[in-house]
Amino acid sequence: MARTKESPKTTSSLGPAEVRKTYRNMLLARTIDERMWTLNRAGKAPFVIPCRGQEAAQVGWAAGLRPTDYFLPYYRDLGVMVTLGYSARQAFLSLLGKGEDVTSGGRQMPGHYGWPDRHVITGSSPVTTQVLHAVGIAYASHLRGEDTVAATSLGEGSTSQGDFHEAMNWASIYKLPVLFVVENNGYAISSPQSKEMAVQDAAERALGYGMAGVTVDGTDFFACYEATLQAAERARRGDGPTLLEFKMYRLLPHSSDDDDRTYRSREEVEAWKERDPILRMQKHVLDAGVLTAEENEALRAEVQAEVDDAIAYAEAAPYPPVEDMFTHVYAD
Amino acid sequence: MAVRNLIDGIREAMHEEMARDERVVLLGEDVGKRGGVFRASEGLVDAFGEQRVIDAPLGESGIVGVAIGMALNGLVPIAEIQFADFIHPAFNQIVSEAAKIRYRSDNDFHVPMVIRAPFGGGVHGGLYHSQSVEAFFMHVPGLKVVIPSTPADAKGLLKSAIRDEDPVVFFEHKRSYRLVRGEIPDGDVTVPIGKARLVREGKDLSIFAYGLMAFHAEQAAETLAKEGISAEVIDLRTLLPLDREAILASVARTHRALIVHEANHTMGAGAEVAATIAEGALYELDAPIRRLTGPDIPAMPFNTPQEEHFMPNPEKIAQAARELLAL
Ligand SMILES: Cc1ncc(C[n+]2csc(CCOP(=O)(O)OP(=O)(O)O)c2C)c(N)n1
Ligand SMILES: [Mg+2]
């Protein structure tokens, strides 16, 4: 089975309009993320789980799939959600637990996505449980002869869970159309990758299951996008699942409750800021002439305005009524 | 004796036991450099090294299963589960293995170990960082289930748990970690497992609770005292084995029983307390037993009003007591 490392991509099948759209999605995810953090620090939002540093990979893998595919993202995947059409308003409604929150009506913590309209399956907090669901979803599609892929994501630390290994085994035995997306940001809270696995690349784990494993630079949108397209094509052809590993860095602490100074150096964090995926994409759009400097500024301002509106909207929005907490325990 | 937080009691117990007995090790997610996500093990890796304070790969079945192996081979592991909500991947290891090893081997093997897990809500943790899962483990002979509600008990009970010859599931209410303060005795003071604590004597009714709810029950009793109602408060401290004697003795004094827990109603720890009273002190009762609990919904919602509605608190406890006395 193939074990590949993807080389950097600077071009792709995407036209300028699509590249602009992609860049906007990355910017929107980043801006929402930054403002969520600010709200938390101002005591207005109890909990934030940041995506900062992972936007290229998230927007990349989501853009590489079709609306008919199934998505089982994990808590950091704001970039995936934005690519699927999740608005800034929705993000802040969820952050503040407001009734209009599309993911759970204010029931779940932020970052616990679910959106039936866009084939995003509801997720929980215990890590890696969704990976098995992706296998079952792919099995059902396959049984009905449908042309859809089930894509699920998780952190590299979460590949230590037994569920992950059971899922890869299932998917490869039945050659199911599953994409296992490992967003490798180097840490599981404080645990560096070396304490989660004895291999260099999480994608090496695919070998033991007889399936394809691909390691990609997760700060390179185009590489992530192209690798996803190829994996999805392989899955649709009936050639089975792929473990896609996107390597990058978690630029912020694990969550708003974490303090990463206790376990990693500032020098390390600063060095990775040089490889910020947003800067990389910005450089590309400017160099390639997708946007002029003025257009870039205008786009950034537009995104900021969208987020300002979203915060005001979400802050003013009502909580769900208390009595709603008793609904939907069962069908009746 | 200085006034300290509950979590200080946890940390001190682990520190002193690791210093006293080199067989004691700690394993769990982020317990090393990070000192645990709640800082319960802060400083332990510096004191005892990475070989005894072990950052585990992310997997609870692994943590508990490996701890069982360690216990079978001469170590005394403390396995930390980062949140009680994430203990379920280890359920098989706890229930099929840890709880049954002594019995199934006709006493040839046993596993002295502690499984620590922060539980409970009121911290905007949503469905999966708020649960109270103690009842699942209360149903398993072979385990002991302990829940401290004061800093002193946190230390004394955890020391006892570490020294116990059998597996102890030790739940710590995460909201109480820094909310509940009190004096912690210096040095080697243990608190026995299996004994409830008489928090406050009273004559009009008994309030049975544990964890954060024992703290809230005490606050409720103070409010009630100002209204001329004398509430006795019993902190159960150990749910398995349950201190049935203390429960029955209290009911014999007050003739009314209010049981409080945050876990949902049906088949919660309160059901066992109520059954104990019904079996052993039915004719002592002047009113039906009352349970004040979390509602029977799958878990605690994240949004503020619904979370508040879910949680019992001192006001709700005082109100339930008044209603019980009006019967
Ligand atoms: C079963 C389970 N155990 C523990 C946790 C607590 N926890 C949440 S995220 C996390 C680390 C995950 O690391 P990784 O998989 O690398 O993803 P990242 O957060 O780095 O994106 C842990 C231990 C959990 N959510 N679920
Ligand atoms: Mg990670």
Atom number in ligand 1 closest to CA A255: 19
Using one digit for the tens of pLDDT, what is the confidence trace for B130-162? 999 999 999 999 999 999 999 999 999 999 999
Nearest-CA residue of chain A relative to B31? Answer: A190
* Contact yes or no for B126 and A258 at CB 8 A: no
Q: Complex ipTM, two decimals?
A: 0.96
Q: How much is the average pLDDT of B207-227?
A: 98
Choose the closest CB to A106 out of B55, B62, B303. Answer: B303
With 0.90 as the threshold, say if the pTM is over it. yes
pLDDT at A8: 65
pLDDT tens digit sequence for B62-115: 999 999 999 999 999 999 999 999 999 999 999 999 999 999 999 999 999 999
The pLDDT of residue A60 is 98
Residues, CB-to-ion distance under 5 Å, ligand 2:
A 155-157, 185, 188
pLDDT classification of A6: cutoffs 50, 70, 90:
confident
Residue B47 in contact with partner chain A when CB distance is under 8 A: no
Identify the pLDDT of residue B1: 74
Mean pLDDT of A301-321: 98
Looking at domain B197-326, its CATH architecture is: 3-Layer(aba) Sandwich (3.40)
Confidence of residue A11 (pLDDT cuts 50, 70, 90): low
- Residue B173 — pLDDT band, cuts 50, 70, 90? very high
pLDDT-derived band at A332, boundaries 50, 70, 90: confident
Rounded to an integer, the average pLDDT of A126-142 is: 98
The answer, yes or no, to whether the previous bond of B241 is cis (omega within 30 of 0) is: yes
CA distance A164 to chain B (A): 11
Is A325 a residue whose pLDDT tops 90? Answer: yes
The ligand 1 atom at the shortest distance from the C-alpha of residue B128 is 25
Place of tokens 């005795």: B185
To test the contact with chain A by mutation, choose from B30, B85, B123 the residue with the greatest count of A C-beta atoms within 10 A, namely B30
Facing B35 at nearest CB: one of A124, A262, A325:
A262
In chain B, whose CA is at the least distance from the CA of A156?
B58
B89 part of contact set with chain A, CB < 8 Å: yes
Closest by CA to A223, choosing from A30, A70, A59, A71, is: A59
For B269-285, write each residue's pLDDT tens digit.
999 999 999 999 999 99
- State in words which class domain B3-183 has: alpha beta
Residue to probe by mutation, ligand 1, list A189, A256, A257, most atoms within 8 Å of CB: A189
Q: What distance in Å separates the CA atoms of residue B279 and residue B251, rounded to the nearest whole number?
A: 12
The Cα–Cα gap between A178 and A137 comes to 9
CB B167 within 8 A of CB B137: no
Position A1 pLDDT exceeds 60: no
Question: What DSSP character marks residue A323?
Answer: G
Domain locations along chain B: 3-183, 197-326
Domains of chain A and any CATH numbers: 14-314 (3.40.50.970)
Cross-strand partners of B24? B76
For A145, residues 6+ apart whose C-beta sits below 8 A from its C-beta are none
Q: Which residues of A touch B41 (CB under 8 A)?
A: none
